[in-house]
Amino acid sequence: MESLKLLAGQRAQSDLVRTGDDRLRVEGVFEAGGDRLRGLLDELGLPVDDQLILRREVTAAGRSRCWINDTAATASALQRLAPDLLAIHGQHEQHGLGDSDVQRRMVDDFGDTSAMLGATDEAFERWSDAAAEMDRLRAAQQNRRDRLDTIAYQVQEIDAVGPVEGEDDELRTRRLLVRHAARLAELSSSLIEGLSDGDGAVVDGLAQARRELEEMAECGLDLADGSSRLAEAGTVVEEVVREVRSLVGEAAADPAELDGIESRLHALEQLMLKYGSTPGEVLEHRRGLLAERSELESVEDHLLQAEAAAKEALEEYDRCATELHQARVDVAIRLASEVQEILARLEMSGTRLEFAWRTRPDPGSALLRDGKGAAFGADGVEECELLIAANPGEELRPMARIASGGELSRLHLALRTALRRRRPGGGLTLLFDEVDSGLGGSTAAALAELLADLAEADQVLVVTHLPQVAARGVEHLLISKTVEDGRATTRVARLDDIEREREIARMVAGDELTESARAHARVLLGRT
């Protein structure tokens, strides 16, 4: 039993490791049938094959490692797979049956609610997709508001300065002129004096030279071209003088103008630090902001559409889940009634069963039940709890509070039998321990009959001391404990026909094997 519990993902205890050994290892091979199991393997990212090999290793230090089809896995992955692979029912140990999901699945299997369950699943998927899109757009909307505020601030900041493309270069040039206005005036005065106004000015010198060339031409020298160039030179000098006077006049020292230039350049440079290296790039950034603002303003319409789609999907889910719930309630009543009839055959005639349904509160849920948020998922809204009263006059209590492990095992046997009658499919590994506790005679025979019937579809392992039960098994395994070299050793042996007859006879009469005991064993084994 402990080995199967380890494969089911239950907590590993280091004291399970045999004294003197450094680790234990347990391995189980299961059929990987069923769409649900294959879908779960795919969801877990595990390889899917016709066989499912589970392996668990526990060290003496308490460390645990798991593998599924030779792929490293976690104990939680084993726990998720276990309900579709095995169920353990023994003294105070009901692995699987006590799980709400397992109980709910039993109801679904008995009533074949697969169509409604599929519709609920599909509706949940549609709502999940719509809700995800709505949440995305709501987040985008929040970001949109923040972004629109940012855009508005940046546009306002740019517009407040009002940059002009190329303006920064012009301002820097003007600043240079204004800063050096005094020196420029000094230099221009000297230059102008040297060129045209002072004694020996260049203009006067050129004019004198031109006259002398003209006189020389009159004396027969061909100097017309030289005279023309001197005239042009004089004109150029005069133009330079005029240009210098004009520009120097524009660069007249004005502290107020210089302050204005410095202030304007500072404002432009602050913008360029944030939005571009030139006024032109700043303006391009502004155009991009305006385009983005136009796009963001359409998010509101998309959000309204998404909210409408999510609302519609939730309403459809609610309708499907409500239909599924009502079907489950009706099915659970029929299942409980049939299980009670089977339990009566197993000396539990006073047992009453009821499947209770409840919703789990979730204040943040979009789905309301009785005005309050309720948790919901692909398999519906409600949780299932199996309530039992083992004796007449007792109140219904959760299954886990039943004291007798044998009663619990018989309850599960009855549930599995009822399910198999309605839906013959199987595939589980079922372990029953103490299922025959306190039973004998015809009741033991009825128990054996139910176990044999169940074993036609599922793999049924039974730990029993009743010959009626042991005789109906397809295989008989004898578990024994011996002491070797001062240490206890547990052995499991498969019995052949002769050994099996002897063991059944021993279970009937004790260690003293009489011929009548052997004869009784042969009757139980159907060999007469």
pLDDT in tens, 21-37: 888 899 988 887 777 77
The confidence score (pLDDT) of residue 204 equals 62
The confidence score (pLDDT) of residue 251 equals 58
Higher pLDDT, 10 or 93: 10
224 pLDDT band, cuts 50/70/90, is low
Report yes or no on 329 lying in a domain.
Answer: no
| Beta partners for residue 65, in sequence order | 57
36-61: average pLDDT: 83
Largest CA distance in the chain: 172
Contacts for 293 with CB less than 8 Å, ≥ 6 apart: 148, 151, 152, 155
Q: What's the domain range around 247?
A: 152-295
Report yes or no on 176 lying in a domain.
Answer: yes
490-499: average pLDDT: 91
Report yes or no on 167 lying in a domain.
Answer: yes
The confidence score (pLDDT) of residue 209 equals 67
Question: Is residue 109 scored above 90 in pLDDT?
Answer: no
* CA atoms lying within 13 Å on the CB side of residue 457: 17
The confidence score (pLDDT) of residue 77 equals 87
CA-to-CA distance for 28 and 26, rounded, in angstroms? 7
Question: Is residue 98 scored above 90 in pLDDT?
Answer: no
The confidence score (pLDDT) of residue 324 equals 95
The answer to whether the CB of 343 falls within 8 A of the CB of 414 is: yes
The confidence score (pLDDT) of residue 373 equals 92
160-184: average pLDDT: 79
Tell me the whole-structure pTM to 2 decimals: 0.60
Question: Is residue 377 scored above 80 in pLDDT?
Answer: yes
Question: Is residue 96 scored above 60 in pLDDT?
Answer: no
CA-to-CA distance for 446 and 452, rounded, in angstroms? 10
The confidence score (pLDDT) of residue 60 equals 86
456 pLDDT band, cuts 50/70/90, is confident
Tokens 């004898």 locate to: 478
pLDDT digits (tens, 9 = 90+) for 341-359: 988 888 888 889 999 999 9
Report yes or no on 240 lying in a domain.
Answer: yes
Contacts for 315 with CB less than 8 Å, ≥ 6 apart: none
What tokens does 209 get?
Answer: 């030279």
The confidence score (pLDDT) of residue 323 equals 95
Report yes or no on 272 lying in a domain.
Answer: yes
Tell me the average pLDDT of the chain.
82
Contacts for 28 with CB less than 8 Å, ≥ 6 apart: 3, 4, 7, 53, 54, 55
Report yes or no on 270 lying in a domain.
Answer: yes
CA-to-CA distance for 323 and 246, rounded, in angstroms? 96
The confidence score (pLDDT) of residue 239 equals 74
190-212: average pLDDT: 63
Tally of domains in the chain: 1
Question: Is residue 288 scored above 70 in pLDDT?
Answer: yes
141 pLDDT band, cuts 50/70/90, is confident
pLDDT digits (tens, 9 = 90+) for 297-337: 777 788 888 899 999 999 999 999 999 999 999 999 999 99
DSSP 96-114: TTT-HHHHHHHHHHHHT-H
Report yes or no on 189 lying in a domain.
Answer: yes
The answer to whether the CB of 422 falls within 8 A of the CB of 365 is: no
Report yes or no on 229 lying in a domain.
Answer: yes
169-173: average pLDDT: 84
